[in-house]
A = this chain, B = another copy of it.
């Protein structure tokens, strides 16, 4: 699977969202062409790496000009599958689930948010950003009657595996997981973790390094017990 020559290497996949982000932002500029060197400046990756990443998918550049900003963005959209329409639902209408209902990121990435589910009777029938919160009791029926390509999971950790099982059982093949608990899914189901607090972790680590002046103190730690 990882050896299929047609599979995109994970290391490239990890950089694609950032390429997308910058090329999207460049669409509003008056820039027609951008060089790999300028993209390097923006993304922090080396120009050489960028040229190599792009050449994995095809030939996009124009020698001595660079890359056509509009065209490259179109190609990145194709590579990321954004021109393919996907329907998504949100499971859990708590604070995070509601915020995700207002997220502006779906459409440009080819997603359409079609429903939100919760078990709390006080939330059911509430309308969030034009989308009515439905009872979780109706989840299976809804999936049966509507093509649903992906589900965002924003429920408390304790409920997460049970709801995952229901989603899988109902035929969902892609889960965007915001819970911070380990979930089990069959091999044919895509499980994408979104560690909402990852940035908080990394900032803490880096602040700590600065405090320690190069984390000298993080060198010979020990577990005390025998």
The one of B78, B95, B211 in contact with A84, judged by C-beta atoms closer than 8 angstroms, is B211
A109–B206 Cα distance when bound, in Å, is: 13
Instruction: State the majority secondary structure of interface residues on A.
Output: mixed
Q: Pick the contact of A42 from B42, B182, B195, B214 — CB < 8 Å?
A: B182
Q: Could you tell me if A209 and B98 are in contact, using CB atoms closer than 8 angstroms?
A: no
Contact call A58/B220, Cβ cutoff below 8 A: yes
User: Which residue of chain B has the shortest Cβ distance to A94 in the bound complex?
Assistant: B102
Contact B202 A13 (CB under 8 A): yes
Size category, A interface: 35 or more
Q: Which residues of B contact A25 (CB under 8 A)?
A: 180-182
Q: What is the bound-complex CA distance between A105 and B146, given in angstroms?
A: 35
Least CB distance, A15 to chain B, in whole angstroms: 11
- Would you call A216 an interface residue if the criterion is a C-beta within 8 Å of the partner chain's C-beta atoms? yes
Give a binary string over A84-126; 1 marks a CB under 8 Å from any B CB, 0 the rest.
Answer: 1010000000111011011101100111000000000000000
> Is residue A133 within 8 Å, beta carbon to beta carbon, of the partner chain?
no
A12 to chain B: closest residue by CB: B205
- The reply to whether the CB of A46 lies closer than 8 angstroms to some CB of chain B is no
Distance A140 CA – B25 CA, assembled complex (angstroms): 29
Q: How far, in whole Å, are A20 and B204 apart by their CA atoms in the complex? A: 13
B223 touches A68 (CB 8 A): yes
New A-B pairs, 14, CB < 8 Å, besides A59-B220, A62-B223, A103-B197 = A6-B213, A6-B214, A6-B215, A7-B215, A13-B206, A25-B180, A25-B182, A58-B222, A71-B225, A82-B204, A110-B204, A176-B199, A190-B210, A192-B203
Closest 7 CB pairs of A and B: A81-B208, A58-B221, A6-B214, A99-B99, A105-B197, A194-B199, A71-B223
